[in-house]
Structures are given as C-alpha cells and as structure tokens.
Amino acid sequence: MNDMRRTILWVVFSVSLVMLWDAWQRHNGHPSMFGPTAARPAAAGAAPTPASAGVPTAAAVGTAGVPATAAAPVAVAASGVAAVAGEKITVTTDVLEATLDTTGGSLVRLKLSKYSDAVDATQKVVLFDQSAQRVYVAQTGLITTQAGLSLPNHLTAMSVQPGERALKDGANELNVVFESPEANGLKLVKTYTFRRGDYVVGVKHELRNASAAPVSAQLYLQLARDGNPPAGESSFYSTFTGPALYTDASKFRKIDFADIAKGKAEHDKTADNGWVGMVQHYFASAWLVTDKAPREFRTAKVSDNLYSIAMVMPMGELAPGASKALEAKLFAGPQEEKKLEALAPGLELVKDYGFLTMLSKPLYWLLDQLHQVLGNWGWAIVALVVLLKIAFYWLNASAYKSMAKMKAINPKVMEMRERYKDKPQQMQQEMMRIYREEKVNPLGGCLPIFVQMPFFIALYWVLLSTVEMRNAPWIGWIHDLSTKDPFFILPLLMTASTMFQTWLNPTPPDPVQAKMMWIMPLVFSVMFFFFPAGLVLYWLTNNILGIAQQWFINRQLGVK
C-alpha cells in the first residue's frame, strides 16, 4: 500500500514534467504532443503579411440568419488586392491612444496607456498593431450579392472629417468621422466614438443611397491577426492566443489558428446573437452587436500566418434616396471580469480559466472581495489561501495524521524490511500486519490531497489570468505580482519550505525512493524561479500553513 502511494505520486510527477515540456514546446512554436500544430512564427526580421486583404465573401443571409443554398459571387476587391497607403489619424483619450487609417477607416494601432509592456516596462502595451513585427487590426466594410456592384470596404480610400483628435478636460467623448467617395450614388459614413475611461469604442456605419436603384448590403465586422504569441510570454506556462466566438446556442468557443489553416475550425455559422473576438493573455478584443439580429460567423486564413474572424450582418434592402445605419461596439482592452460581464453575455469568458471555470469564477469573486477590504492584491492572495486552509482544515488534519503515524512506525517498518529483504512476499504480509496493528492507512494522506487539488489548480489559473495583478505591488521588492521575483527571494523561501515539509513526512524504506523524495521538490522548485511572484506567493503561503498544521499534529501525536 505504501508503494502504491508512492506510485501515485510518481505518476503525478511524471505527468507534470510532460505537461511542462509540452508547454515549452508550444511556447517556442513547436507542435504540441496533445493537439494541432502551433501557428508558425514569422521569421526574424521578416514583415508579416499586411492586413490589406481578406474581404469576406457576401452570402445571402435570410431573416433567420441562415444562408441561402448558394452565395452569389461578390463584386468587391478580393484578398489579393493591395490597399493604397492611407493617412494615419491618432486619437488620444485618458486610457488609450488609437491610430486610424484612412484606408477603409480601419483601426490599425491601439496603445493602452494604463498598462506597461511585459518586455519593456518603460513602454505601454500595444494591443493592435500593423508593423514589420506583427499584425493585429480591426476592420469593417460592406459587401453585397448584387453582381456588378462594388461597395466600400476596408480597402477603400476614405477621407476623414475635421475635428478633435484628443479628449479634452471636461469632455466625455469625441467622434472621428470617415467618408468614402461617392460611387454609383453610394456612400459609407463611418463614425468612431471614443469615451473617457472606456475601452469600448462605438462604431456606426451609415450607408447612403443616392442612386436610382435599390441596394442590398451586408456589413462585416472583422479582426485580423498573425498567429504569433504575444511577446514576453513565459516559457513555463501556456495561455491561449487566437480567435474566439460566442453564441447562446454553443456558448464560448476558442478557435485554434491551426484549425483555421486546415479548414477544420468548428463553430456556429449563423445565429441571431453573439460576438467574435481575439484573445491573448490579459487582453482581448471583440466586435459586439447586442441587439438580436441575423448574423453569420466566418473564420479564414487570409495569407501566410495571417488569420481573421468576422461577423457578417445584413443591412437589408436600401431604397433609392434612403439611408440606413447599423451600430456596433468594439471592445479592445484588459480582461477585467466584472466590466466584461456587463458588456455582453459570455464576454467575461475571454479570461481563460481552463477547464475549471466553475471553481475559478467563485474563487476570483472571493479574491476580489478580499482585495476590496485589504487594498492589496498580495495580501488578498495570502488571505484567500488562509481561508482555503481553514475550509479544508479537517481534511488536511486527516492526511497529516496519517502521515504522522506513518512517520512514527517508520523505524519498525525499516527494521522489518531489513529482516525480510530476501523474502518479498513475507515482507508484504508483515507490512500489512504492522499497518493493521497500528491502525495506519498508507493511502490516508493521498485522498485529501486529490480532493483539494482541483481547488488549488483553479486558484492557480485565477492568479495566472487576472489582469489586475499586472503592475500590482505587494511589499518591498515585489513591485509586480504578474512577473517573476527580481531577487528570487520568494522562490528560495518556497524551495526551503518544500524541503522542510518533505522532512516532516515519513521517509520511504526504499533508499532510491528516499533520495527521489528529496529530488522531486527540487525539480519542481526550478520552474517557480520563473513563475509570476503572485503564484509563488500563493504556493509559499500554502506551504507555510501546511507546515504549521503538520507540525502541530505531529506534536499532538508525539511524533518527533
């Protein structure tokens, strides 16, 4: 039974090493052992393919959002057409700096003024970008199924109307208006509305029909991105980067770049609700239309290492002399869970909790409540671990009592193993007799650990994915809980506490297993030197409380 306990621990150790290796492989662009091939990173110094392509194909969308049996050919510029270089317009608010391109009126750069860059703390986070290093842009335009008719899209050269470009003191919003040239009596007016303290940008599309014929148009809201992970990501844990989609029917779904490249992306194609987005660690973007209306969802590989996700919405038939507007919202900013919940159904799910979301969400809620009381995320982490230890006190006590009894009888077991070292069958029988007489369950220390494991894994993902941890200080030398300890003090303390906890446990009779019992904690501790300080603080607090409880129980039972 004792060997079985160690076998279980060996399995956990081995699986953990495999998962760590797999995360390292995926981070460096190599294929995962458990999933599709990772998106191929761009070559060093090579410019990604410009996002001047990828106009969605028009389809006949019915009133229920279901495409007709065949889509009519589209007359707009196809993906191989290069866009004319446009003028760049920079808009500044208290929380962001946005760069808009007169080519299509696209949002091609977005700097988040409140968040420091993970690689260079003197710079701010750049979410959207269209440069030699990366491509991540928001595009919109019109498409139609009417043969011979071309509508303004994100390749169209547009003009920008005069107006304010910076949010003034006392002002709560500013507008930036783009107009397409009038062609065949048709004009698109696109209005961006930026608001104080808000990461949601209003985007209004108004189509004016001055022609003598009715026009049927569809609006596409699109995000295009290269397949590379964000710079500065850790090699010791993996977070999702890629498109995401939500509908009431299928709920939240992440879509791998590799699946899009292979044409195997599985998601809802039509609905009368939902949104599309792009997700990365701590930040996300999403096109939101909260009114119930037919829409179609598209994913595509635009070109080499460039992917898009789009939501296409019918604007209906526009009579001669009439105009019609459709309003959407573009969220682009930090994954602040409570704010995301208020914006759209399911939007808070871009904050990736992995497969333990049902446990992680209440744990985050509790962590947030503690932060509101304590005013410091570091102390909130400590307090949360204390509360979890209290909640599992009696379960832990059962495990520690079992281990204490094992430690107490260990000399007797060692002596017995020496006597029967050449008689394995008798050794097992004698060991079982000792366990029965001493009323010791060798697996008694394992069950409580497995019961608690989901809770601590869930808390791990809460701390890993909570953007509020970025740039959040704790005490002294810890100025950012989302980055590694600059002096490695917390990892060293955690390693010492782990070794001390190992010393409190019973020593395995097998000399090889006894050595491995000391080596395993050291191997695990290596990765904590590169983990965010908040995660190390969580493990260190858990270790210290576990040592205190185990020491107390050992003293109660008279175990030295």
Sorted by where each begins, the domain ranges of the chain are: 47-349, 362-556
Q: Per this entry, what is the length of the chain?
A: 560
The 8-class DSSP code of residue 47 comes to P
Q: Across residues 47-51, what is the average pLDDT?
A: 46
The chain-wide mean pLDDT, for the chain, equals 82
Residue 40 has pLDDT above 60, yes or no: no
Residue 480 has pLDDT above 60, yes or no: yes
Residue 509 has pLDDT above 50, yes or no: yes
Q: Which pLDDT value is given to residue 142?
A: 97
Look at residue 389 and give its three-state secondary structure: helix
Q: Which pLDDT value is given to residue 506?
A: 60
Q: Which pLDDT value is given to residue 204?
A: 98
- H-run or E-run covering 15: helix 2-27
Residue 414 has pLDDT above 50, yes or no: yes
Q: Across residues 10-38, what is the average pLDDT?
A: 47
Least confident of 63-67, 91-95, 148-152, 349-353: 63-67
Task: Give residue for tokens 């698109």.
Answer: 188
Residue 98 has pLDDT above 90, yes or no: yes
Residue 12 has pLDDT above 60, yes or no: no
Residue 306 has pLDDT above 70, yes or no: yes
Residue 244 has pLDDT above 90, yes or no: yes
In one letter, which amino acid is 416? M
Q: What are the b/e assignments for 473-487, b being 16+ CB within 10 Å?
A: ebeeebebbbbbbee
Q: Which pLDDT value is given to residue 44?
A: 34
Give percent above pLDDT 70 in the chain: 79
Q: Which pLDDT value is given to residue 110?
A: 98
Q: Which residues pair with 130 in a beta bridge?
A: 135
- CA separation for the pair 54, 138 (Å, rounded): 12
CB-CB neighbours of 442 under 10 Å: 20
Q: Which pLDDT value is given to residue 455?
A: 85
Pairing of strands 186-195, 295-303: unpaired
Residues 6+ apart with CB under 8 A from 99: 88, 89, 90, 91, 107, 108, 109, 110, 128
Q: Which pLDDT value is given to residue 355?
A: 82
Helices (H), 297-423: 337-343, 357-374, 377-391, 393-419
Residue 43 has pLDDT above 60, yes or no: no
Residue 385 has pLDDT above 70, yes or no: yes
Q: What is the largest CA-CA distance in the chain?
A: 104
| The two structure tokens encoding residue 103 | 């080519």
pLDDT-derived band of residue 80, with 50, 70 and 90 as boundaries? very low
Residue 9 has pLDDT above 90, yes or no: no
47-349: CATH number:
2.70.98.90
Residue 330 has pLDDT above 60, yes or no: yes
- CA separation for the pair 556, 560 (Å, rounded): 10
Q: Across residues 389-416, what is the average pLDDT?
A: 75
Q: What is the pLDDT of residues 526-538, one digit of tens each?
A: 778 888 899 899 9
Q: Which pLDDT value is given to residue 510?
A: 62
Residue 371 has pLDDT above 60, yes or no: yes
Residue 224 has pLDDT above 60, yes or no: yes
Q: Across residues 35-56, what is the average pLDDT?
A: 47
Residue 78 has pLDDT above 60, yes or no: no
Q: Which pLDDT value is given to residue 235?
A: 65
Q: Which among 177, 159, 156, 182 has a CA at the least distance from the CA of 52? A: 156
